[in-house]
Amino acid sequence: MYLYRYLDMQLNEYMNKKVTAVTKRIVFLGGGTGGVIGALTLAEAKKKHGLDLEITVINKDEWHYMPPLWMDVAIEGLPIEKTRAPIKNLEKYGVKVIVNEATKVNPDERNVELADGSKVEYDYLFLTLGLRNGWEAYPGLADEGYHNYDPDAAQEFHKALMAFKGGKVTILVPEVPFRCGIYPIEFATVLGYKLKVLGIDAKITLLSPKMPNGMDITWGLGPDIRKLWGKYMAKFNIEVKLHDGLERIDKEKKVVVTRNYEEPYDLLVKVPPPRPPKVLEDPVFLFEHDKRFVKARPRDFRHPEYDDIFSTGEHSMPPVGLGTAGVFVHAATSKAVNILLEELYGVGEVHEFTPVACVAYSGDKGFLGVCEVEFNGQMYTWQKCYNVMESFAMKFVKRSFYQGWLDKLRI
């Protein structure tokens, strides 16, 4: 009996060693904020601990972009090259890069199908695909207006702004949440400043969905940051109008038609309705309570039915209680990667979210905002947000931070 148990234990130990000795294939689908930070975190752990890992990033185009800089493209004319770096340069960190579009994820077969018909097998998959601009959600929205939610559009926007002679600028937020939780207000104040510098006579109106207690989209940011925005809205004479839902854009009449009023425009600036990446538009992945997003378990960002899939892209932030912004994607991906490193090799540095900091523009200045979030055992919950520091220097801090991020892939 004892001999049998001894042999059984030896066999188990041998099998375990064999299992851990097998190379683990970890694939990041999407080489944006989440994919890059996740792959680099794993690559560092691999080097430090000598782990037997194969790390792959699949990205549909050859560039890794830093979207916050597209505001500088649209308003200041920053060259698009300054907002991106070649994704292939991740290879110098020991990460395999595949530049191709994913067309299907097969969780039961543990593979991802690519546009060229090939398949990439994985042991663990991270979904870091960001959100899609869902212009098709409202009639007329795709064909009218300017935005800077993709690189080409940001450049078009700059040309339109330089040709703008003045009049009515309408900034339309069709629905909440939207990509990057503070963007429309940040953009409105920066545009207000730019138009003033250019000496263009314009009136900016921000159309916000009506939030609880009859408030606007600054509702979730807390009184301190609302006060800061309020100061700039007043300074640049930006009016905020609440709407009960967008119906359509009437291109002929140049009006935004909402359920409770029609708003004219000379220059329309639009914020995209958030929609899931096409490749995840499948009940297996869609969050059943709000199909604009992709499901994830708040505890560890895993798919509820597939333990080998983590979903930490912007598409999965609202389902876990976090905001749609790069700072949350960054924190979520770091946590999930460390959970995996701990489970596989006992080397993860798993930590809960510390307050999440974000540097943003405010008119002619910039500020450092902090949001405290807490995991209550079920979900992440907002505690409070506040403005830590506001100054001209913060504008440069923001630019330097993003350029420094891209420099990791520029060598």
Site residues for ligand FAD per CB under 6 A? 30-35, 58-61, 67-68, 70-71, 101-102, 128-130, 148-149, 179-180, 183, 277, 279, 313-314, 324-327, 329, 358, 360
**CB of 108 vs ligand FAD, minimal distance in Å:** 19
| Token couple for 185 | 């207000």
Q: Which residue is nearest to ligand FAD (CB)?
A: 32
In angstroms, give the least distance from the CB of 274 to ligand FAD.
10
Closer CB to ligand FAD, 169 or 271, in the complex: 271
Nearer to ligand FAD, 130 or 209 (CB): 130
> In terms of CB distance, is 185 or 325 closer to ligand FAD?
325
Minimum distance of ligand FAD from residue 328's CB (angstroms): 7
- For the chain, give the secondary structure using H, E and C: CHHHHHHHHHHHHHHHHHHHHCCEEEEEECCCHHHHHHHHHHHHHHHHHCCCEEEEEEECCCEEECHHHHHHHHHHCCCHHHHEEEHHHHHHHCCEEEECCEEEEECCCCEEEECCCCEEECCEEEECCCCEECHHHCCCCCCCCECCCCHHHHHHHHHHHHHCCCEEEEEECCCCCCCCCCHHHHHHHHHHHHHHHHCCCEEEEEEEECEHHHECCCHHHHHHHHHHHHHHHHHCCCEEEEECCEEEEECCCCEEEECCCEEECCEEEECCCEECCHHHCCCCCECCCCCCCECCCCCCCECCCCCCEEECCHHHHHHHCCCCCHHHHHHHHHHHHHHHHHHHHCCCCCCCCCCEEEEEEECCEEEEEEEEEEECCCCEEEEEEEEEEEEHHHHHHHHHHHHHHHHCCCC
Given the complex with ligand FAD, which of 51 and 171 has the nearer CB atom? 171
Our CB check for ligand FAD shows the closer of 51 and 127 to be 127
Q: Closest CB to ligand FAD among 51 and 294?
A: 294
Q: How far apart are CA 146 and CA 363, in angstroms?
A: 20
Minimum Å distance from CB 138 to ligand FAD?
A: 19
Q: Which is nearer to ligand FAD, 35 or 348 (CB)?
A: 35
Q: How far is the CB of 146 from ligand FAD (least distance, A)?
A: 12
120/195 with CB nearer ligand FAD:
120
Q: Which is nearer to ligand FAD, 207 or 358 (CB)?
A: 358
- CA dist 242 and 19 (Å) reads 58
Report the nearest approach of ligand FAD to the CB of residue 125 (Å): 12
Q: How far apart are CB 303 and ligand FAD at their closest, in Å?
A: 15
Minimum CB separation from ligand FAD for residue 359, in Å? 7
Query: What is the C-alpha to C-alpha distance for residues 153 and 148, in angstroms, rounded to an integer?
Result: 5
- Select 43 or 51, whichever has its Cβ closest to ligand FAD: 43
CB of 16 to ligand FAD, least distance (A): 34
The closest of 65, 267, 269 to 147, measured between CA atoms, is: 269
Residues 81/83/85/90 CA torsion (nearest 10 deg)? 180
The least CB distance from residue 356 to ligand FAD, in Å, is 8
